Structure 1
Amino acid sequence: MTSEKQNELKELALRVREHIVRLSTDGGCFTGASLSCADLLVYLYADFLNVRPDNLQDPERDYLFLSKGHDVPALYGVFAELGFIPKERLDNHLKTSDSIYWHPNRNVPGVEFHSGSLGHLPSVAMGVALDARLRGQDQKVIVITGDGELNEGTCWEAVLVASAHKLNNLTFVVDRNHFQANIATEELIPLEPLAPKFEAFGAEVRRIDGHDFVALEEAFQALPFSDTKPSVIICDTVRGKGLPSIERRADRWFCNFSSDEVVELLKELHSQEATTLTSETLTVR
């Protein structure tokens, strides 16, 4: 990946994080978890997947399922920046007049399937991958899970079935931010060693830094990792990435900030990027 491309993706990720922060008021959203997967979603939609605003009805497009649906502010931000939805539509967050709320809804262009109840979409993605295989299509199917979500047995059942059917067109991606809601995963139900668990269920696994665009490109461009197995990419991430004041904090899973706090958080976000804010950037919509 060229340095120019890295900078483009970093700038896009910064704008997505701005949207996440702005959605964290007037009712709030799952801020910390959304910030952890912003870079991942930016890379997938901006550089990897064959999914665009103009091909959403094409049955041969690629598919991404956001199983950890509470991260949808990051998805909204990506969609707004890439033209799936007007940026102004984000102003409707939590309003009864729209479907922009705490979990994905198919009334938002680009959302493939409703999610919110954890553990459901790995099986949905597995079914879509199997359907593509039966149709002789070769599109990519990606499903993003949370690490705490892996406590749901349906996640592992999906990996088992995908392995049984040799679905190498299916990739499970784990946003490994080491928190489940308001507790560290290893304090509740320890997941480590995580990669060997997936391998035991029949998947081929790689583990990377989920905030490193070069590492993301190297991993995803290497797909499928096996001709006969589903792939798993474990992305080590930081809850609240980009805002040191809330990073790695168990109490910053869901946030509902005041307008003044949002302004300060936007300043903090940009200070991390050594970027000068304009008055327009600081506007709380």
Structure 2
Amino acid sequence: MKDVQEVRDLARHIRIETLKMLTGLGFGHYGGSMSVVETLAVLYGDVMRIDPKSPDWQDRDYFVLSKGHAGPALYATLALKGYFPVSELQTLNQNGTKLPSHPDRLRTTGVDATTGSLGQGVSIAAGMALSHKLGGRTNRVFCILGDGELNEGQCWEAFQFIAHHNLHNLTLFIDYNKQQLDGTLDEVIKPFDLAGKFSAFGFDVQTIKGDDIVAISEAVTPVRHAEQRPLVVILDSIKGQGVRYLEQLANSHHLRLTPDVKLEIENAIAELEATHV
């Protein structure tokens, strides 16, 4: 990695700004936003080839947030990297905002794909990767999916397409936080052996802790070659990751803040702001 401390600090600030954004709104997808913070910090702070001053740069790497409900974490990342002012984060989901609840590439500078309807983002990412491969370009594509999102059959059609076309320029992350909207994965639809399934579908698979910045970077920093299979990184994460109060909730997928909950989140923000990792 270029600078582990710098990426850790970026992750801390992404977490803080995401919490402030959602708490200012009074509701939102806390849990699933928190669990992808470290991955976003690694991608935008260490791995991806980007230029915030030229967001449509043709040689950039592309990112697709297939689990679009974690949009606030992506917005915080983009703002902190300079795509737009951090002050705009407080307009989340307000009338006239450039930051809708789910990413919209026509509204938000730096967003490469409009997502929200689960299952569709990974198909968009596959199309991007195939286009770059056919065009002989070196752009890489990265895509984060939710583990509950894997209930969508479209995901598995896309995985088969990706493996068939050997899209080694596309890396998938599965946010395996073990919860979804209506409960735990085991309660709703058991995932069984995710690593085994992806391997059978024609992918190379790595399973790492979702908050292990160094491991995430090491998994995706090497540029993959044509003889290698596409890569899936299974992030063994925690819903609400990095915020003890959220981690301990039975379900933090979407919260509407009561005064007590708001106080807990505000305390968490203060603790993060006082912490230098």
- TM-score in same-fold range (> 0.5): yes
Residues in 2 aligned to 1:153 and 1:50: alpha-carbon distance in whole angstroms: 31
Q: Does 1:130 align with 2:130?
A: yes
Q: Which amino acid aligns with 1:35?
A: M
> What residue in structure 1 maps to residue 246 of structure 2?
246
Distance 1:191 1:223, change over 3 A: farther
Q: Which amino acid aligns with 2:91?
A: N
Q: Distance in 2 between matches of 1:212 and 1:143?
A: 18
SS state of the match for residue 109, structure 1?
A: coil
Q: Please name the residue that 2:156 is paired with.
A: 156
Q: Give the C-alpha shift of residue 167 in structure 1.
A: 1.2
Deviations 1:24-68 (A, max 9, x none): 233421011100101110110111001221232122211010000
1:168 aligns with 2:168: yes
Query: What residue ranges of structure 1 are gaps of 5+ in the alignment?
Result: 277-285
What does 1:77-116 correspond to in 2, within 5 Å?
77-106=76-105, 107-116=107-116
Q: Partner of 1:44 in structure 2?
A: 43
One-letter code of the match for 2:66?
Answer: S
Looking at structure 1, the residues matched to 248 and 124 of structure 2 have their Cα atoms a distance apart, in angstroms, of 30
1:256 offset after TM fit, Å? 2.8
Deviation at 1:174, TM superposition (A): 0.6
* Structure 2 match to 1:66: 65
Q: Which residue of structure 2 lines up, in the alignment, with residue 212 of structure 1?
A: 212
SS at match of 2:208: strand
Cα distance change, pair 139–248 in 1 and its aligned pair in 2 (3 A):
farther
CA, structure 1 residues 187+223, in 2 after alignment: closer, same or farther (shift >3 Å)? Answer: farther
Kept in 1, the 8 Å contact 2:69–2:101? The answer is: yes
How many residues are aligned here? Answer: 274
Q: Verify: 1:18 aligned to 2:16, yes or no.
A: yes
Could you say what secondary structure the match of 2:244 adopts? coil
- For the structure 1 residues 232 and 210, does the alpha-carbon distance in structure 2 shift closer, same or farther, using more than 3 Å as the test? same
Moved more, 178-187 or 39-48: 178-187
Show the 5 A alignment for 1:221-232: 221-224=221-224, 227-232=227-232
Aligned to 2:119, the other structure's residue is in SS state: coil
Contact 2:245 2:264 in 1 (8 A): no
The CA distance in 2 between the partners of 1:64 and 1:248, in whole Å, is 30
Please say if residues 27 and 94 of structure 1, whose CA atoms lie closer than 8 Å, have aligned partners that are also in contact. Answer: no
Contact 1:185 1:191 survives alignment (8 Å): yes
* Structure 1 contact 204–225 (Cα < 8 Å) conserved: no
Preserved CA contact (<8 Å) 1:179 1:250: no
CA distance in 2, matches of 1:49, 1:143: 12
User: Deviation per CA, 1:252-277, whole angstroms, max 9, x where unpaired?
Assistant: 1112325775454243345368629x
Q: CA deviation at 1:250?
A: 3.8
The Cα offsets for residues 185-213 of structure 1, whole Å up to 9 and x where unpaired, read as 12211112101101111111111112011
| Residue 101 of structure 1: how far off its partner (Å) | 2.4
In 2: Cα distance, 1:220 partner to 1:267 partner: 34
Q: Mean alpha-carbon deviation: is it higher for 84-93 or for 242-251?
A: 242-251
Change (3 A) 1:146 1:223: farther
Please give the TM-score of this superposition, normalised by the length of structure 1: 0.89
Task: Quote the offset at 1:172 in angstroms.
Answer: 1.2
Alignment pair present for 1:75 and 2:66: no
**Structure 2 length-normalised TM:** 0.92
**SS of equivalent residue, structure 2 residue 256:** coil
Letter in 1 for 2:199: E
The structural deviation recorded for 1:154 is 1.0
Aligned-CA RMSD value: 2.1
Q: How many Å separate the matches in 1 of 2:119 and 2:171?
A: 15
Identity between Structure 1 and Structure 2 (%): 36
1:30 matched residue in structure 2: 29
1:251 Cα offset (Å): 2.7
